[in-house]
Amino acid sequence: MVYILVETKQYNLAIFASGTGSNTKKIIEFFEASSFITIALIVSNKPEAGVLDIARANSISTLILEKERFFKGDAYEPVLKEFGIDFLVLAGFLWKIPAHLIHIYPTAIINIHPALLPDFGGKGMYGNHVHEAVINAKKDKSGITIHFVDEHYDHGKHIFQATCSVLPTDTPETLANKIHQLEHEHFPRIIEEVVLAKYNLQ
Ligand code: GRF
């Protein structure tokens, strides 16, 4: 009998995150059984970030960024290459991505933002600042935006949006909970769709 070994290429993802990492946890769980996507590296600029505990608990390698090297040096390109990283996912990462990385990863870096861009985005618009701004503007809906990353904050081409209602009784905390639920529900599968489309895997 002749066996033919068909090798499926693995696409290696790096998740960039600086917070508690609830999205990262969902993404890891979602791709645990994937035959073509591996979460190969968790990258953070904060050595104390909770997301690093999630990485360790799942035996995923971590990389802590130093500002000087990220912005003025090689932007860690050699390290990303060493881990065979194909695709970058930003899940609560607050630093701007250097132009160098955007050029070497064309349409291969995506971000999730906790509001309906183009409103309530840009520098300083993160975490509860976003939700406070939405509530102060008396909006009756908010949501999430998943988009490609370019050289400007929260600016690249939109991939997906989902909405939730904002009630007069909502506080930044209750709105943050609704937004997190939307993120957890949609982000992993949208990442999968974008990777499938990029590498013509459908
Ligand atoms: C999310 O709300 C995401 O939209 C924003 O940062 C937050 C990260 O949350 N970019 P977590 O650390 O994944 O819980």
Q: What gap in Å lies between CA 78 and CA 92, rounded to an integer? A: 23
Strands (E), the chain: 11-16, 37-44, 61-64, 85-90, 109-113, 141-148, 158-165
Percent of residues in the chain assigned helix, strand, coil, to nearest 5: 35, 20, 40
Catalytic residue set: 113
Query: What is the C-alpha separation between 194 and 176, in angstroms, rounded?
Result: 25
Pocket flag, ligand 1, residue 44 (CB < 6 Å): no
Contact predicate 90/14, CB 8 Å: no
If you average pLDDT over residues 195-201, what whole number do you get?
92
What are the chain's domains?
Answer: 11-198 (3.40.50.170)
Q: What is the CA radius of gyration of the chain?
A: 17
Q: Is 189 annotated as a binding residue?
A: no
Q: Is there an atom of ligand 1 within 6 Å of 21 CB?
A: yes
pLDDT in tens, 149-160: 999 989 999 999
**21 annotated binding-site participant:** yes
Predicted pLDDT of residue 202: 67
- For residue 4, the model assigns a pLDDT of 67
Q: Is the CB of 114 under 6 A from ligand 1?
A: yes
Supply angle C-alpha 107, 154, 71, rounded to 5.
Answer: 75
Q: Judge residue 148's burial from the number of C-beta atoms within 10 Å of its C-beta, 0-12 exposed, 13-18 middle, 19 or more buried.
A: middle
Q: How far apart are CA 3 and CA 61, in angstroms?
A: 34
Q: Report whether pLDDT(5) > 70.
A: no
Average pLDDT over residues 33-41: 96
pLDDT higher than 70, residue 6: no
Residue nearest ligand 1's atom 2 by CA: 114
Which residues neighbour 29 within 8 Å (Cβ) at sequence distance 6 or greater? 188
pTM: 0.95
Residue nearest to atom 9 of ligand 1 (CA): 92
pLDDT at 19 over 80: yes
Q: CB 51: neighbour CB atoms within 10 A?
A: 25
Mean pLDDT within 5-23:
89
Q: Which residue, judged by its Cα, is nearest atom 1 of ligand 1?
A: 92
- Whether the CB-CB separation of 135 and 129 falls below 8 Å is answered with no
CA-51 nearest atom, ligand 1 = 12
pLDDT (0 to 100) of residue 8:
74
Q: Does ligand 1 have an atom closer than 6 angstroms to the CB of 20?
A: yes
13 CA to centre of ligand 1 in angstroms: 17
Q: How far is Cα 134 from Cα 28, in angstroms, rounded to an integer?
A: 30
Answer whether 112 contacts ligand 1 (Cβ < 6 A): yes
For the chain, counts of helices (H) and of strands (E): 7, 7
Model pLDDT for residues 103-142, shown as the tens digit of each residue: 999 999 999 999 999 999 998 899 999 999 999 999 999 9
**Which residue is closest in CA terms to ligand 1's atom 3?**
92
Distance CA(181)–CA(169), nearest Å, equals: 18
